[in-house]
Chains A and B, each alone.
Chain A
Amino acid sequence: MIDNTNKKRISYRDALHDGLREALQQDPRVFLLGEDVGRYGGTYAVSKNLLDEFGPERIRDTPLSELAFVGMGIGAALGGMRPIVEVMTVNFSLLALDQIINTAAIYHHMSGGQFSVPLVIRMSTGAGRQVAAQHSNSFEGWFAHIPGIKILAPATIDDARHMLAAALADPDPVLLFEHAALYNMEGELPADGSVDIKSAKVRRAGTDVALITYGGSLPKALQAAEALAQENISAEVLDLRVLRPLDTGAIVASVRKCHRAVVIDEGWRSGSLSAEVMARIMEQAFFDLDAPVARVCAEEVPIPYARHLEEAALPQPEKIITAVKALLGESA
């Protein structure tokens, strides 16, 4: 039984806030910089009130200059600080790609191991809020393509609260993707704890099919698993959590156990993270499969504004249920 005495109910947003505040309290080298992180309190209110507590030296509002302030995060990290850069959304991170890929990711290797870049970049990601195509991208899978950086996707309260500390303890650049649709999610948080940034985690155990997912699609997969359980289909839900380096062992373990898998990813399917997960299953668990691996991804369109179109373009519990039943040879 779960002991509730040591738990409190908290939102994903507040869990992120508490993690950030703790990091600032514990290490004077840590500071936050980004657009509207200070007086505005953070676009998603993650840094609310931190300016009052830590002052403008450590909670730095920047102009709309993603390329420069991400690059400055790299420089500050090289210079002995532990910067946390907030890029308002993944959509704007495209303006900073050069610094992330051509500088942060290569620094340690190309300097012959002389320099490390202990930089954390946080950004929101994902669709589902009717903000249309330019504000609805999911590029974390793209970033997971790049050697030299680590990619995190907290999808639970516990990860939202503790992943930042693990990211700051890492000597290399870590990108942390907060799904915009999760900020208002509430859940239980153990009184104290920590998390690793190495492993995928089984969020629901099952035996008939493995639902492999991360980020904003995790609650949808859990919802689908709950509905499938009503029909006596036992779905395991694996939360990837860390998109680079991928925990291939956990993926293979779930597939070996369930013999069927559906990969759920809000990114588009072509050339995607979901494709990478499927490829690893084929390479390492092919003979454990009873059916081809299936996918539920975003439809290959710029994400539309109109609600009915946006919902139809994204992974939804119903689509996951349909995919599972197709795998099991049942009609939806």
Chain B
Amino acid sequence: MIAPPPSGPVPYARDFARQLLTDMLRIRRMEEKSAELYGAGKIRGFLHLYIGEEAVAVGALHALQAEDNLVTTYREHAHALVRGMPMDVIMAEMYGKREGCSLGRGGSMHLFDKRTRLFGGNAIVAGGLPVAAGLALADKMQKTDRITACFFGDGAVAEGAFHETMNLAALWQLPVLFCCENNRYAMGTALERSESQTDLCAKAASYKMPTIKTDGMDVVAVHEATREAQAQVRSGAGPLFIEYQTYRFRAHSMFDAELYRSKAEVEEWKTRGPIHTFSARLKQEGKLSEEEFLALDAEVNAEVAAAVTFAEAGTWEPLEHMLADVYTPAGGQL
């Protein structure tokens, strides 16, 4: 049995509460459109949707400072969007167009943005953890008060990179917030079928790292937990491991027939959907009317439509540029 749907008061002013709702909707509608565009052959390669998990990216990233570093995975459209990458640019990257954040060289799984200190979607499971710890080491050595947030899934805890990085980050007291999006399946393998210890916080705790476990379907719970967590990391107390218990409503990628879980399970989790439960709470508190919700949704759909138009109108990187940037051009980046 799963927990009852998130409920209770929303401890935020109307504007911020709506910001959270809007960002979750932006992710949802952008990704629904992406799936459609995938079917139409406009987006190719791998496409991993975040649908169902929106509360995590939205609640967590709104708890960070603009100067913080972000390292994430191949399921990262949401992180890029909430962090401030324009939807146009994300869509163009998914199209493989030159107007994408990475000139169309990375696609859906590899969104990079120097401006918002997004150091990439890394598509090797747990591959981002050592990089995040290194960014944090640089900050510690340079005595900044920046922290690094590193997102990864439950599958990553099986990798050596996870354990090596947990140990080093704790040993050297690095300012990293390890954000584990536990959606219960590593592709198609359920956690209990792959881990002898399914309590992920216990793994982190074994490295003497403080941990927080939170309901990843509740944007309020996510935001509150992450606010507390980032303050602790920023205070110089060393790394912290936060587990967001969440669920992905869609397949792992567009090639997944979902043979490993029942439709009933998915439907049950959908009763805990982060968007409808949160908007219901806002309505109950009088912070949102149905009309306002519909207007918001229409605005978001217009943003998505504009992003598609932008991507459609985008250009292809000329073939003559193919070998550019394998190495940094002379005089660059020093």
Chain A residues within CB distance 8 Å of chain B: 31, 57, 62-63, 65, 67-81, 83, 98-99, 102-103, 107-116, 118, 147-148, 150, 169, 171-172
Report how far A277 CA is from B212 CA in the complex, Å. 55
Does B313 interact with chain A (Cβ within 8 Å)?
Answer: no
Give the residue of B120, B160, B168 whose beta carbon is less than 8 angstroms from that of A72: B168
Does B214 interact with chain A (Cβ within 8 Å)?
Answer: no
Give the residue of A71, A81, A108 whose beta carbon is less than 8 angstroms from that of B142: A81
A115 x B119 contact (CB < 8 A): yes
B122 x A171 contact (CB < 8 A): no
Nearest A residue (CB) for B110: A110
B328 x A79 contact (CB < 8 A): no
If A80-B138, A98-B124, A115-B114 touch, whether A71 touches B325 (CB-CB below 8 Å) is: no
A65 x B127 contact (CB < 8 A): no
- Nearest chain A CB to B91's CB is how many angstroms away? 15
A72 x B105 contact (CB < 8 A): no
Given contacts A57-B141, A74-B131, A114-B112, 14 further A-B contacts (CB under 8 A): A68-B130, A68-B168, A75-B130, A79-B137, A79-B138, A98-B127, A103-B127, A107-B120, A109-B326, A110-B110, A112-B103, A113-B328, A114-B113, A114-B114
- Nearest chain B CB to A295's CB is how many angstroms away? 29
If A99-B127, A113-B103, A148-B326 touch, whether A118 touches B134 (CB-CB below 8 Å) is: no
Nearest B residue (CB) for A80: B138
- Nearest chain A CB to B252's CB is how many angstroms away? 20
Chain B residues within CB distance 8 Å of chain A: 69, 71, 100-103, 105-106, 110, 112-114, 119-120, 122, 124, 127, 129-139, 141-142, 148, 160-161, 164-165, 167-168, 171, 324-329, 332-334
A75 x B168 contact (CB < 8 A): no
Nearest A residue (CB) for B100: A112
Nearest A residue (CB) for B171: A63
Q: How many A-B residue pairs have CB under 8 A?
A: 157
Nearest A residue (CB) for B323: A147
Give the residue of B131, B326, B328 whose beta carbon is less than 8 angstroms from that of A75: B131
A103 x B122 contact (CB < 8 A): yes
B106 x A71 contact (CB < 8 A): no
Nearest A residue (CB) for B123: A102
Q: Please, which residues of chain B bring their CB within 8 A of the CB of A72?
A: 130-131, 133-134, 137, 165, 168
B326 x A147 contact (CB < 8 A): yes
A110 x B112 contact (CB < 8 A): yes
- Nearest chain A CB to B135's CB is how many angstroms away? 4
B127 x A75 contact (CB < 8 A): no
Give the residue of B69, B133, B332 whose beta carbon is less than 8 angstroms from that of A71: B133
A113 x B168 contact (CB < 8 A): no
Give the residue of B71, B135, B142, B168 whose beta carbon is less than 8 angstroms from that of A69: B168
Give the residue of B71, B102, B133, B334 whose beta carbon is less than 8 angstroms from that of A114: B102
B135 x A109 contact (CB < 8 A): no
